[in-house]
Amino acid sequence: MKRLFLVIALCLLSACSKPQETADHDPVSAVIVSDLHYTAAEASGQIVPVMACIDEVTQAMVNEVIAIRPDVLILTGDNTNSGTPDDARRLCSYLQEAADAGIRVLVLPGNHDYDKADRETLKELYGAFMTGDVTDPHSLSYEVRLGGYALLMMDDHMDASASRGTFSDGTMDWLEARLKAAAADGLQVIFLSHHNVIPGIDDTAGSITNPDLAALLQRYPVALCLSGHLHSQAILQHRKLYEIINGMPAMAPHLYGLLTLEENHISYQAKSLDLETCGSAELAETVRKLDEEAAARLHNALADMLAELQVSQKEQEIFLPLLDDYFVWYETGTIAEHADDFRSPEWKKLLTVLDQANYGPWIRSVISHPPLPADRLELPDN
C-alpha cells in the first residue's frame, strides 16, 4: 500500500477549554516517525531484512524530511534497535542534519532505547532533542507548546524489566497537572507515547498498563494520541478518544506520518518513504528485494506452522494465501476493509485450525474488534 491518510476535523469543546482572548496561531506541520530501530551494527539475517541497509534508509528518511520542511520532526521511541550509546550518537548525527535545516527535532524513548542506557544516559545522548517547555522530574516526559497545541511527549518506561509501558504515580500526577494547565490556557493536547493508549490490535504487548489513563485523557481536551511499538499502522477509537499507531519505516510499506495542526483542524497522512528520490534507485531496488525476502520468510514460517499442525498440502495451498493477505492487511491497517473475507468458509476453517496455535485466538481477537480503516477518518464538529 503506497499511501494511507487520515483527516481529522474537530472543534474546541467549550466544556473542556476556558474562553480567553488569544491570537490566531499559525499552522504547525510535523513528521512523525516511530520504531526506526536504527543500528550501526551488522544487521543481515534479521527478522526485518531491511535492517541490513538501515543506514541508507535513515539517510533517505532525513533527506525526505528536509525536502518536506516541517516545523518539527518527532520520533516516538525505539529509535535505536539495541539502545547502545554508539547507536544513539550515530542516529543523533542524522537528526542533527534536520536540525541544521531549521527543523525542530523532538524525541521520545521506547523500550529498546532503554536496553543499554538508563534515563540519565539517554538525556545526555539526545540532549536538546529531549528538551521541552516543562519537564517531568519522574521520567523523561516533557511538554512542548506549538501553535494552539500542547504536545505531551510521554516517557512510558517506568519499569526497566518490562516491555509494556507504565507511568509511575509521580508521572501520572505530572500528566494531570499538564492537562489541567492546557485546558486552562485554551490549548488542545496531542498525547505522544511509545506504547499504545487504547488496547486494540495487540492487548498483550502494546498498551500502557495504567488502567485509568484513557479515562483521564478523556476528561481533558486531548485531540489525538500518537504512538508506535507494534510496527503496524492502525487507527483506534475509544469513545471520543482517537489514537494513531504509526508503522515501522524498515517494514513495507515503509511508513511515516505527516501531521498538520491548525486552530480547529488536524490532518494526518501516512506516507511511504520515497526511497528512490530521497535515496537512490539502487536503494529502492535493494529494499524491494529485501521486502520480498521478508514476505518469503513469513510465508515459510507460516507453512512450517501449518505442517506442524498436520494440515494437508492441499489445505496449505488454500490457507497460506489467506494468511499472506492477512499480514499485509494487518501491517497496513486495513483489516476492517476485509470483513467479508473473514466470513468465507475457507477463513472459518482456517481459524478453527489456528485455534490449536497462538495465532488463532490472536487473529480472532483482531478481526472481531478491528481497528478503524486507516485510509480516512473524519470526526464531526462538536
Using one digit for the tens of pLDDT, what is the confidence trace for 39-67?
A: 987 655 567 899 999 999 999 999 999 99
* Contact criterion met (CB below 8 Å) for 229 and 205: yes
Residues 136/129/115/297 CA torsion (nearest 10 deg): 130
Backbone φ and ψ for 25, nearest 5 degrees, come out as -100, 140
Q: Supply the pLDDT for residue 374.
A: 59
309 compared with 40, residue with greater pLDDT = 309
What strands, in cross-sheet order, belong to the sheet with 234-238?
134-135, 142-146, 149-154, 188-193, 222-227, 241-245, 234-238
The closest alpha carbon to 114, from 90, 81, 137, belongs to 81
pLDDT, residue 20, reads 38
pTM of the model: 0.89
Phi, psi angles (nearest 5°) of residue 108 = -110, 145
Q: Which strand (E) or helix (H) includes residue 108?
A: strand 104-108
pLDDT computed for residue 371 by the predictor: 72
**Of 19-33, 65-79, 294-308, 366-380, minimum mean pLDDT range:** 366-380
Mean pLDDT highest for which of 135-144, 205-214, 372-381? 135-144
Stretch among 33-47, 72-86, 89-103, 345-359 having the lowest mean pLDDT:
33-47
Q: Which of 98, 115, 111 is nearest to 256 (CA)?
A: 98
The most confident of the ranges 5-14, 176-185, 208-217, 222-231 is: 176-185
Joined together, the cell numbers standing for residue 195 give 506504547
| 191-233: pLDDT as tens digits | 999 999 998 665 556 789 999 999 999 999 999 999 999 898 8
* pLDDT attached to residue 297: 93
**pLDDT > 70 in the chain, percent:** 87
Instruction: Tell me the C-alpha distance between 251 and 280, whole Å.
Output: 18
Average pLDDT, rounded, for the chain: 88
Tell me the three cell numbers of residue 336: 476492517
Q: Is the pLDDT of residue 280 over 90?
A: yes
Q: Which of 57-66, 93-102, 162-171, 265-274 has the lowest mean pLDDT?
A: 162-171
Indicate if the pLDDT at residue 34 is higher than 80: yes
pLDDT of 375 strictly over 80: no
Which 8-state DSSP code applies to residue 328? Answer: H
